[in-house]
Structure 1
Amino acid sequence: MNLIEEIKQLKTERNAVILAHNYVRPELQEIADFTGDSLELSIKAKNVKAETIVFCGVRFMAETAKLLSPDSVVLLPNPDAGCPMADMAAADAVAAYRAAHPEAFLVAYVNTTADVKAHVDLCCTSGNAEKIISELPEGQEVLFLPDRNLGGNMNRKLDCKMDLWPGCCPTHDRVTPEMIAEARAAHPGAKVLVHPECTPEVVAAADQALSTGGILKFVRESSDKAFIIGTESGILHRLRKENPGKEFYPLQPEMICPDMKKITLENVRDCLKNMAPRIELSEEILREAVKPIEAMIARS
Structure 2
Amino acid sequence: MASVPTQIALLTRAPGGADSTCDPDLPTAPWQFDAVPGQPLPAPTYGAGASRQDPVPADAPVQQQIPAQYRLLPADELDRRIRTARQTLGSRVTILGHAYQRDEIVQYADFVGDSFQLAQQSQQHPEAEFVVFCGVHFMAETADLLTTDDQPVILPNLAAGCSMADMADIDAVQACWEQLEAVYGTEPDADGRVPVIPVTYMNSAANLKGFCGEHGGIVCTSSNAREVLEWAFERGQRVLFFPDQHLGRNTAKAMGVDVADMPLWDPRKPRGGNSEESLRDARVVLWRGWCSVHQRFTVDQIAQARAKNPDVRVIVHPECPMEVVDAADEAGSTRYIQLAIDAAQPGEAFAVGTEINMVRRLADTRPDLTIECLDPVVCPCSTMYRIHPAYLAWVLESLVEGRVVNQVSVDPVVAGHARTAVERMLAVGA
Aligned residues between the structures? 300
Percent identity reads 38
Task: Indicate yes or no: 2:378 matched with 1:267.
Answer: no
Instruction: List structure 1 segments (4+ residues) > 6 angstroms apart after TM superposition.
Output: none
The one of 140, 148, 153 aligned to 2:237: 140
Task: Indicate yes or no: 2:121 matched with 1:44.
Answer: yes
Task: Indicate yes or no: 2:421 matched with 1:292.
Answer: yes
Task: Indicate yes or no: 2:182 matched with 1:60.
Answer: no
TM-score normalised by structure 2 residue count: 0.67
Deviation string 1:180-234 (CA, Å, 9 cap, x unpaired) is 1112223432211100000110000101101000001111123362111100011
Paired residues of 1:147 and 1:197 also in contact (CA < 8 A): yes
Unaligned ranges ≥5, structure 1: none
**1:1-300 alignment, distance < 5 Å:** 2-14=77-89, 15-49=92-126, 50-71=128-149, 72-100=151-179, 101=181, 102=186, 103-120=195-212, 121-135=217-231, 136-137=233-234, 140-160=237-257, 161-223=283-345, 225-253=348-376, 254-274=378-398, 275-300=404-429
Q: Which residue of 1 is the match for residue 192 of structure 2? A: none
Cα distance, 1:240 vs structure 2: 2.9
Deviation string 1:218-274 (CA, Å, 9 cap, x unpaired) is 111233621111000111243134423212101114131111222111110112233
TM-score normalised by structure 1 residue count: 0.94
Paired residues of 1:144 and 1:163 also in contact (CA < 8 A): yes
Alpha-carbon distance in 2 for matches of 1:93, 1:190: 42
Cα distance, 1:278 vs structure 2: 1.2
One-letter amino acid matched to 1:48? H
Paired residues of 2:314 and 2:351 also in contact (CA < 8 A): yes
The SS at the match of 1:20 is: strand
The Cα RMSD (Å) is 1.8
The SS at the match of 1:170 is: coil
The SS at the match of 1:119 is: helix
Cα distance, 1:177 vs structure 2: 0.6
Range with bigger deviation, 235-244 or 258-267 = 235-244
Compared with structure 1, are the counterparts of its residues 287 and 13 closer, same or farther at alpha carbon in structure 2 (3 Å cutoff)?
Answer: farther
One-letter amino acid matched to 2:344? S
One-letter amino acid matched to 2:370? E
Cα distance, 1:139 vs structure 2: 6.4
Deviation string 1:148-187 (CA, Å, 9 cap, x unpaired) is 1011102211122311011110111121111111122234
Is the radius of gyration larger for structure 1 or structure 2? 2
One-letter amino acid matched to 1:144? F
Unaligned ranges ≥5, structure 2: 1-75, 187-194, 258-282, 399-403
Cα distance, 1:12 vs structure 2: 4.2
Alpha-carbon distance in 2 for matches of 1:104, 1:81: 32
